[in-house]
Every structure is written in structure tokens, then in C-alpha cells.
Amino acid sequence: MKPFIKKISILILLAYVVIGLFLYINQRSYLYYPTPDKQTPYHHMTLHNDGESINVIVLNKGHENAILYFGGNAESMAGSSNYIAGQFPDFTVYLMDYRGYGASTGIASEKAFYSDALKLYDTIASKHKQISVGGRSLGSGIATYVAAHRKVNRLALVTPYDSIVNVAQYRYPVYPASWLLYDRYDSVSRAKEIKAETLIVIAEKDKVIPRKSTNNLIKAFNKKQLKVIVIKNRGHIDISDDARYYKIMQDFIGKG
């Protein structure tokens, strides 16, 4: 090998290793974007789990049926609360601040989010006849986990993925994502465990979650229990701005 080519090869290899190491060390800062605490007029409840305090915003208290909603990785539950309360007036809706988000303490991680989500479900289960679960983007993985481990009436997944590992692999194809990621959110492996009727809502112009990833998840579900809707001319962020979005959710979840 000529010296020049050898030097270039070494530089390329060094850059590959340095960039890979940077992504590995900082991976959670690319996955989680904690939102600040914000006051709301709604009731708040605090869960104590693993030594952490988990804030839950409770909308429309006192209804027979409930919805647990798990938001995206940069979604403020306080910021979403007014609109969600108005869209589901006949349900008690629980919005959980992830660890490190809003008024919740702790550090964000897949294991922690799963534990807190089940703690929330178990805490409120005796208060409601039926519990439906919804999750958007990152939250779809948490919603899927809950539906695979607890009794759920309906499951609504918005811009979901098969696994974070696969999403990362699509985004960084030169790195072995399955070796590098701490948090995997492997929803596709849990699909067959879910018995609830399930809705998947896709944004036609989603540039964050590859359609291939969502399609892999769709294939894993029992087709008899699954409904898939594509909202046209909307992207990953603005899908909920579309008038069809909440109408689709309301029709699927039903009346409280």
C-alpha cells in the first residue's frame, strides 16, 4: 500500500472510531430531550418508584374509563394537557412526565420508563373499568410494553417504530447499532403478546421514523386486531395539528 493511501486509510479509520465513540457516549442525549416543568390547572399525582418521584398530570378526574398517554421524546405533557383534556372529556387521562422531564426526578432510560409506566397502570387500575393506552413516537414503545404486560382495552400508536435499534441503524448505517445502544425499545418483539385492538397512525411525510420501520411493526401484529391509518401531507411533528388526528383517536377509543 502506498504511503499516501495508507495515511488516508488511517485517518478514515480514526475518524470512524472517534465519531462512533462520540455517538456511543452521547447516545442518550440524542434520544431524550427533557422538557422543563410547567404549571397546569390540573390535578397532579406523584408516584414513588425506585427512589424517584414521578409526576403524573391527571385530566378529567372521576370518569369510569381511562387513557394512559405516553408522549414523544421532546413532548411536554404540561404543554399538551389542555388540548388532550378537551379532546377526551369523557375519559380520565393520565400524562406521565418521564424521568428527568417536567416535575419528575431521575435519569431517562428505557428500563426506568417501563418500570414507571407499569407502576402508573397498577396504581390506577382499581379506579377504572377499562384502560386504553396511547403512545406517540418514543412513547409508542412504552405503550406497547404496557399493552404486552397488562390488560388494555385499546392501544393507539402514533408514528411508531419496530425498534429504536433499527431506527438508529437506518440513520447511522455504518455503525453496528445493535452492539452500541443501551436502550432498544423492541416493540416488534412484543406485538404478538398484545391482545388489545390496536390502531397505528402514520404520518405520510414522516422524516424521523422510516416507513420501513413502521411497516415491520405492522407485519408483526395480528391483522385481525389491527387498524392502520395514514394521515396524508403531514410529518412527524405536525401530525397532531391535523383536524383528522384527534377524530381518528376518538373514533377508535370510543365513548367513555
CATH assignment at residue 47: 3.40.50.1820
Residue-by-residue DSSP string for 36-76: BP---SSEEEEEEETTEEEEEEEESTT-SSEEEEE--TT--
User: Which residue, among 108, 88, 86, 93, has the nearest Cα to 35 in the 3D structure?
Assistant: 108
pLDDT in tens, 51-92: 999 999 999 999 999 999 999 999 999 999 999 999 999 999
Q: Tell me the mean pLDDT in the region 26-40.
A: 95
Q: What is residue 239's predicted lDDT score, i.e. its pLDDT?
A: 97
* Helix 211-220 × helix 164-171 angle, to 10°: 150
Confidence of residue 256 (pLDDT cuts 50, 70, 90): low
**Does one domain contain both 108 and 15?**
no
201 domain-assigned:
yes
1, pLDDT greater than 60: no
Alpha-carbon gap, residue 219 to 162, rounded angstroms: 10
**Does one domain contain both 112 and 180?**
yes
**Does one domain contain both 7 and 99?**
no
Q: Tell me the mean pLDDT in the region 23-41.
A: 94
Share of the chain above pLDDT 70, in %: 99
Q: What is residue 254's predicted lDDT score, i.e. its pLDDT?
A: 87
78 domain-assigned:
yes
Alpha-carbon gap, residue 188 to 224, rounded angstroms: 17
**Does one domain contain both 94 and 215?**
yes
Q: How many domains does the chain have?
A: 2
104 domain-assigned:
yes
Q: What is residue 250's predicted lDDT score, i.e. its pLDDT?
A: 95
**Does one domain contain both 10 and 103?**
no
107, pLDDT greater than 60: yes
**Chain centroid to CA 42: how far?**
23
Q: Tell me the mean pLDDT in the region 214-233.
A: 97
Q: What is residue 16's predicted lDDT score, i.e. its pLDDT?
A: 87
**Does one domain contain both 192 and 217?**
yes
Highest mean pLDDT: which of 4-13, 24-33, 141-150, 239-248? 141-150
Q: What is residue 10's predicted lDDT score, i.e. its pLDDT?
A: 84
| Domain residue limits at 233 | 42-253
Alpha-carbon gap, residue 46 to 106, rounded angstroms: 13
36 domain-assigned:
no
167 domain-assigned:
yes
pTM score of the predicted model: 0.94
**Does one domain contain both 22 and 73?**
no
**Does one domain contain both 178 and 239?**
yes
Instruction: Choose between 48 and 9: higher pLDDT.
Output: 48
**Does one domain contain both 94 and 138?**
yes
pLDDT in tens, 116-162: 999 999 999 999 999 999 999 999 999 999 999 999 999 999 999 99
**Does one domain contain both 115 and 8?**
no
113 domain-assigned:
yes
Contact 50, 115 (CB under 8 A): yes
130 domain-assigned:
yes
7, pLDDT greater than 90: no
The three three-digit cell numbers of residue 222, written as one number: 395480528
**Does one domain contain both 64 and 171?**
yes
The per-residue pLDDT of the chain, averaged, comes to: 95
37 domain-assigned:
no
**Does one domain contain both 209 and 117?**
yes
